[in-house]
């Protein structure tokens, strides 16, 4: 029997029971759809995060308290480590220690409630300097950004995000009004445009103030959550990072680099770290979604066994007319593979379509710079896995069909 005839026979067998065939591939469709959706959105999230990291400037170097790993929990713990102190800033600003350092910004991060009149809103407190406007490309739509004199004088001034302005002031002009945080009044001297949040910072819900003010009147802490620096040039980043490491080790009396209580991240190391985290999460979700494929494979094997039983007389008749065991095996195996491949193709189309719709919604309704990315590897993986499931789970029913005796099969009622 030729493969063309086997294919024609298999397609006819599947079309005879269209409803059953459709329900049989449902598990495969769901599994492949989930995999395509997760891989596409995962790639989009990774592109968004890396795009924001690249926007920080290639000469930016961040100093993180504690040892940072790719674990989200350890990264959160590092945020509240108290290893970065004012004396570290003094040491870093000493040109003899870090000659290639261009600028430095201590960072204080916290959370509290801001109020205006009867309105209150939970905000993220970001204490920084005027350097923050350059690093994050922040240009207020109203008013101005912080300046160094306000940092030096511990001024009670803030720049607020779009959501903060909306929920506290509604239609009123927030400029030069006073909001209350921790019982203290802060004058609004700038309002940021709506950015739609972000992968690293959500500026829409942020209140930015001098870090000196934040430490003294809001957080009460004597340490920094971050120190962000800039090298004099892109080429000077590696040597600047090395100088920073040596300076801080000396400042912290550390002789064994393995015991460093801080971490240094350049744009490249930060991109690699965030890329590792997003990739790990994406593949974890892919593994979870793959459970549906296993369930779908078991369903195909079950339905194929039922089909073999129902078509016993057909098998007997074909064998009586000269069909060999391998012809029967090929027919039923091909039916199983066709079912799974059809399910895989539908899953790829459905998953990529849903991913496109979600990506469109994220970019247009949430104002995120979200790209739709078709996961070509996911599509190839989907087709390959679908065919493999057909071979694995269709093998046993096909073998059972090929072993049937033609005489007994013709007697079957």
**Per-residue model confidence as pLDDT tens digits over 277-303:** 777 777 777 777 777 777 777 777 777
- Distance between CA 269 and CA 273 in Å, rounded? 6
Q: Which band of pLDDT confidence, cut at 50, 70 and 90, is reported for residue 81?
A: confident
Mean pLDDT of 25-34: 83
Q: Give SS3 for 198.
A: coil
Q: Which band of pLDDT confidence, cut at 50, 70 and 90, is reported for residue 164?
A: very high
Distances from the Cα of 269 to the Cαs of 61, 114, 263, 273, in angstroms?
10, 35, 11, 6
State the average pLDDT for the chain: 81
| Statement: residue 49 has pLDDT above 50 | yes
> Exposure string (b/e) for 217-251, b if CB count within 10 Å is 16 or more?
bbbeeebbbbbbbbbeeeebbeebbebbbebbbeb
At 401 the pLDDT is 60
Element (H, E) at 206: strand 206-210
Q: Is the dihedral of CA 158, 163, 165, 169 positive or negative?
A: negative
Which residue, chain included where needed, has tokens 């690093």? 135
Mean pLDDT of 249-259: 90
The better pLDDT of the pair 30, 253 is held by 253
CB atoms within 10 A of CB 377: 9
Strands of 38-118 (E only): list them. 60-65, 101-116
**Using an 8 Å Cβ cutoff, are 228 and 135 in contact?**
yes
- Distance between CA 323 and CA 132 in Å, rounded? 78
Give the single-character DSSP code of 227: E
- Distance between CA 232 and CA 381 in Å, rounded? 46
- Distance between CA 169 and CA 319 in Å, rounded? 83
Share of the chain above pLDDT 90, in %: 36
- Distance between CA 248 and CA 88 in Å, rounded? 7
At 390 the pLDDT is 73
| Statement: residue 203 has pLDDT above 50 | yes
At 27 the pLDDT is 77
At 309 the pLDDT is 64
Q: What is the dihedral of CA 305, 308, 312, 313, to 10 degrees?
A: 150
351 closest CA partner among 43, 46, 35, 25: 35
Mean pLDDT of 205-233: 93
For the chain, domain boundaries: 3-52+273-411, 82-260
In the structure encoding, which two tokens stand for residue 346, read together?
């539908």
- Distance between CA 45 and CA 49 in Å, rounded? 6
Which residue, chain included where needed, has tokens 């079957």? 412
């Amino acid at each position: 029997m030729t493969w063309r005839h086997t294919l024609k026979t298999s397609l006819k067998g599947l079309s005879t029971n269209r409803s059953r065939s459709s329900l049989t591939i449902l598990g495969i469709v769901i599994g492949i759809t989930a995999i395509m959706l997760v891989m596409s959105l995962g790639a989009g999230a990774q592109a968004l995060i890396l795009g924001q990291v690249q926007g920080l400037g290639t000469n930016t170097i961040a100093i993180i308290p504690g040892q940072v790993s790719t674990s989200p929990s350890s990264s959160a713990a590092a945020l509240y480590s108290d290893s970065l102190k004012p004396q570290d800033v003094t040491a870093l600003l000493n040109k003899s220690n870090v000659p290639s350092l261009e600028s430095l910004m201590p960072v204080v991060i916290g959370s509290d409630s801001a109020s205006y009149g009867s309105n209150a809103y939970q905000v993220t407190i970001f204490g920084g300097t005027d350097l923050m406007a350059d690093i994050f490309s922040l240009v207020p739509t109203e008013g101005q950004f912080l300046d160094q004199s306000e940092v030096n004088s511990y001024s009670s001034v803030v720049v607020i995000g779009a959501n903060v302005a909306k929920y506290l002031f509604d239609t009123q002009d927030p400029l030069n009004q006073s909001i209350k945080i921790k019982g203290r009044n802060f004058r609004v001297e700038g309002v940021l445009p709506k950015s739609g949040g972000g992968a690293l910072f959500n500026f829409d819900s942020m209140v930015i103030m001098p870090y000196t003010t934040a430490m003294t009147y809001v957080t009460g802490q004597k340490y920094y959550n971050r120190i962000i620096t800039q090298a004099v040039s892109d080429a000077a980043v590696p040597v600047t990072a090395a100088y920073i490491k040596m300076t801080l080790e000396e400042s912290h009396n550390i002789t064994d680099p393995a015991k460093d209580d801080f971490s240094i991240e350049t744009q490249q190391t930060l991109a690699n770290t965030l890329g590792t985290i997003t990739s790990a999460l994406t593949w974890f979700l892919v593994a979870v979604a793959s459970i549906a494929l296993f369930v779908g494979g078991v369903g195909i094997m079950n339905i194929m066994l039922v089909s073999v039983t129902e078509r016993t007389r057909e098998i007997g008749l074909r064998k009586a007319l000269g069909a060999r065991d391998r012809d029967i095996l090929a027919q039923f195996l091909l039916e199983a593979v066709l079912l799974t491949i059809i399910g895989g193709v539908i899953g790829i189309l459905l998953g990529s379509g849903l991913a496109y719709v979600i990506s469109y919604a994220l970019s247009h309704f949430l104002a995120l710079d979200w790209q739709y990315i078709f996961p070509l590897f996911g599509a190839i993986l989907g087709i390959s896995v679908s065919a493999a499931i057909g071979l694995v789970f269709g093998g046993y029913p096909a073998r059972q069909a090929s072993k049937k005796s033609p005489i007994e099969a013709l007697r079957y009622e």
